[in-house]
Chains A and B, each alone.
Chain A
Amino acid sequence: MIDQRVVMVFESADDLMSATRAVRESGWKIEEAYTPYAVHGLDEAMGRAPSRLPYITFLCGLVGTLLALWLQHWTSSVSWPLNVGGKPFNSLPAFVPVIFEIMVLFAGLGSVATLLIRSRLYPGKKVQLPSVDITNHRFALVLAPQDASFSHDEASQLCRRHNAVALHFLGDIENKK
């Protein structure tokens, strides 16, 4: 049993993926994986469900659609109806382009805002990376503090099997080969 978090560092996405699967088979808890680019299939390997963000996008788009519909209807036929070329006050087909644009605007910016809020990304945030070079060319797998089933030797062996370049504990400065 250890209280520290274990960090395994790899040089390729394939090694990270196979190591991730092996760690899960061993029954150890994975806290997070860090990669320099989006590695496809990693969420499945880590056993994570896909993001539910599209629901938020749909909701934002719906709000935009209804808002634009209401705004155009209300201004053109309720607040101050103006006769423009004899066209009906509530000219629904002519309102479609603006409804579409506002829908896209709300859905798009809503999704981006959700990403920033959910992932707590904001200007000036201090970042603590678990290992060096993970925004450049390395891939890190961070294990949560483990229970009694964890053994240091097994972890070292797993690292060797999957070509890890470093294994260290968070807080450790020294990288052990």
Chain B
Amino acid sequence: MTEDTNVRPPLIDGNKDFQQVTEDICAPMERRPTNLWWVAILVSSSMLLLGVVAVTYQVATGIGTWGLNNTIGWGFDITNFVFWIGIGHAGTLISAVLFLFRQKWRTSVNRAAEAMTLIAVMCAGLFPIIHMGRAWLVFWFAPYPNFRGPLWVNFRSPLLWDLFAISTYMAISAAFWYIGLIPDMATIRDRATTKYRRMIFGILSFGWDGSQRTWSRYETVYLLLAGLATPLVLSVHTIVSFDFATAVIPGWHTTIFPPYFVTGAIFSGMAMVLTLMIIARSVMGLQDYITTRHLGAMCKIVLTTSMIVGLAYATEFFIAWYSGNPYERFTFINRALGPMGWAFWIMVGCNVLVPQLLWFRAVRSNVAVIFGISIFINIGMWFERFVIITTSLSRDFLPSSWASYVPTSIELATLVGSFGLFFTLFLLFCRLLPVIAIGEVKGAMKR
């Protein structure tokens, strides 16, 4: 029998039946954790502990513990905030946008990517609270009837829009993720061998029975949530970019920011998905489900968004020159050739040059090289936010107010702590819940 080359290869390897899929995906969470997992959680929770210590110290002492000054009022904290919120965007892209585009390969990665979104949004949400200094007054953000008038929040401020955008994003992502988990948790409930496992997953699966009526409503809700999450994800980073674009600082005050930030977010998030998936597939033994074809598809998204981001960098420089605005021109010359130029070149190197390797099929099918590239992009995209925020602030209109910025150990420890929180929660997720959407993989199988 000759093989038809027009037929796409199956989404998962190993010619599995439904029973085998359930078995493979549930196995890592039903056996004892591997040594590698213990090492990973030990490292990440130590990083988290360092972060907890640093945050406790800075909340107790005040934001004087940071390297900020009158000129540079936004440093590491806002950089980290934008970085983490950007990471989250790829999860929604995979779960919602690719669902609407009927990209069936997403079924192998959407669960983990959604978990990544939730965790990244948690990490992001911490930073504005830390940045406030008096973290215990965070409820002042909310429009509630108070005894100061009532004095209301300023609904014309993008910072307040951020609060609404991020809390909505968090709520919708959590709902999307949990709804997706319900049928899979029912599967785990029904195959559980221990009493406690059956009880816990029985509670968590809400009495799911897989009836057609429920599935039909479930699919409708899934589609509706995907339809709502797609514009939502665009709005979240658009609003984050408004934090900058509505200010008058040269280097921030540009109309390109919303699409530029959204693409950058998807770019960085997709790189983080690659990082996590490459770790997860080898640690949990899921190579048949997250194949090199899946990684290759994500590489293509990374390459596309990398070029859009590169175009945005170039457009910014062109418009700075074309606008004829001397402050804008100076800001961009300073960004590339000034004292913080090194950060700019790290950004360009990691985000525009390194991803060009993904043009080659040999690179896209080499897991180790993809992993390396994804790490470069993670670093580059952190630097992108650092460059935008810090270099723009360091030299604005008045040379007399120019200043530089060096982060303190507390700020570095907080950044390390946020990575600790991210990886700790992700590792716990890998242990406790199905990393791959069992039901969705079955639905996408050709059987």
Contact = CB atoms under 8 A, between A and B. Distances in A.
Q: Do the two shown chains form a genuine complex with each other?
A: yes
Interface of A: 12-13, 32-40, 42-43, 46, 48, 50-51, 53-54, 57, 71-72, 75-76, 79-80, 82, 84-85, 87, 91, 94-95, 97-98, 100-102, 104-105, 107-109, 111-112, 114-116, 118-129, 132-137
A53 B220 contact: yes
A121 B442 contact: no
Contacts of B213: 32, 48, 119
B179 A72 contact: no
Contacts of B13: none
A121 B214 contact: yes
Given A79-B152, A124-B203, A129-B190, A104 B208 contact: no
B228 A108 contact: yes
B207 A97 contact: no
Contact of A135 (B164, B176, B186, B217): B186
Given A121-B206, A125-B207, A136-B191, A37 B172 contact: no
Contact of B187 (A43, A98, A111, A135): A135
A147 to B, nearest CB: 22
A98 B150 contact: no
A53 B167 CA distance: 24
Contacts of A32: 211-213
A95 B154 CA distance: 10
25 contacts: A37-B439, A37-B440, A48-B213, A53-B220, A57-B224, A82-B154, A100-B231, A101-B165, A101-B235, A104-B168, A104-B231, A105-B172, A112-B175, A112-B179, A115-B217, A119-B213, A119-B217, A121-B208, A122-B206, A127-B186, A127-B202, A135-B190, A137-B17, A137-B18, A137-B22
A171 B213 CA distance: 22
A76 B218 contact: no
A93 to B, nearest CB: 9
B363 interface: no
A124 B208 CA distance: 10
A42 B202 CA distance: 26
A105 to B, nearest CB: 4
B407 interface: no
B215 interface: yes
How many B residues are at the interface, by size bracket?
35 or more
Contact of A101 (B158, B164, B218, B219): B164
A76 B152 contact: yes
A141 to B, nearest CB: 9
Interface in B225-263: 225, 228-229, 231-232, 235, 239, 242
B210 A36 contact: yes
Contacts of B172: 104-105, 108-109
A136 B439 CA distance: 9
Interface centre among B213, B242, B440 (most CB of A within 10 A): B213
A39 to B, nearest CB: 7
A36 B22 CA distance: 10
Contact of B155 (A51, A98, A109, A119): A98
B151 interface: yes
B17 to A, nearest CB: 7
Interface centre among B160, B206, B210, B231 (most CB of A within 10 A): B210
Contacts of B231: 100, 104
B221 interface: yes
B403 interface: no
B239 A97 contact: yes
Contacts of B171: 105, 108-109
B212 A35 contact: yes
